Amino acid sequence: MTEKPIITLLAVTSLDGYIAKHSGHAPATWASPEEQDHFLTRMDQMDWSVMGRVTHEAAFRPNRKRVVFSTLPEKPEWRTENHLWLNPDGNIQDTVMDQFVGASSVALLGGTRVHDWFLERNLIDVIELSVEPVVFGAGLPLFWHDQWSGFQRIDEIIPAMAKLGFDVEGGVRALNMNGTKLMRFFRQK
């Protein structure tokens, strides 16, 4: 049997659980330098990434292997030698997973509907979450899910993740002195 790569959702959220205030609101404009360094280090360790069209176009990287979700292509389409565009409304799970044969690590990079697509299919192994000490009040959540909304303290995130099927491992790590935290959650066995 072919080994499935580890699929890691890598994200930074506000304290209240949002990945952006609105579509187009990029983490580079509000996340801390330490978080961004951490993100870039982790991305260098990834073989593939998956993201929605907006995230792909906002951070175009010709040399990175990517699956891009979009309703635009009628069928799977390689738009560059490294970028496969797919319409996730179709029956494409096997096509997505086939790309990762031989890979050991895949990053999920947003937005929310991409996270939901993988969560619904039970395909996420690890969630690596940075939390910045900012409150957005509204915006695009990490997941569109009843269990995920309106946090006021970081320790509310851990039980919410447990309800989504992920347990924290290694506790809460400080990324800097300003309150940016990092947590790793693993899918419950």
Ligand X SMILES: NC(=O)c1ccc[n+]([C@@H]2O[C@H](COP(=O)([O-])OP(=O)(O)OC[C@H]3O[C@@H](n4cnc5c(N)ncnc54)[C@H](OP(=O)(O)O)[C@@H]3O)[C@@H](O)[C@H]2O)c1
Write down the least CB distance from residue 180 to ligand X, Å: 13
CB of 31 closer than 8 Å to CB of 20: no
Q: Which is nearer to ligand X, 99 or 112 (CB)?
A: 112
Beta bridge partners of 140: 20
Q: Which is nearer to ligand X, 2 or 71 (CB)?
A: 71
What DSSP string runs through 40-107? HHHHTT-SEEEEEHHHHHHT--TTS-EEEE-SS-SS-EEEETTEEEE-TTSS-HHHHHHHTTT-SEEE
Which residue, chain included where needed, has tokens 């990053």? 107
The single-letter code of the amino acid at 189 is K
**Tokens standing for residue 189:** 């066995």
Binding site for ligand X (CB under 6 A): 11-12, 19-20, 23-27, 51-55, 58, 69-72, 88-89, 109-114, 117, 140
Q: Which is nearer to ligand X, 5 or 88 (CB)?
A: 88
Q: Which is nearer to ligand X, 3 or 45 (CB)?
A: 45
Q: Which is nearer to ligand X, 89 or 94 (CB)?
A: 89
Write down the least CB distance from residue 38 to ligand X, Å: 11
Write down the least CB distance from residue 10 to ligand X, Å: 7
* Phi/psi of residue 155, nearest 5 degrees: -75, 0
Write down the least CB distance from residue 184 to ligand X, Å: 15
Write down the least CB distance from residue 167 to ligand X, Å: 21
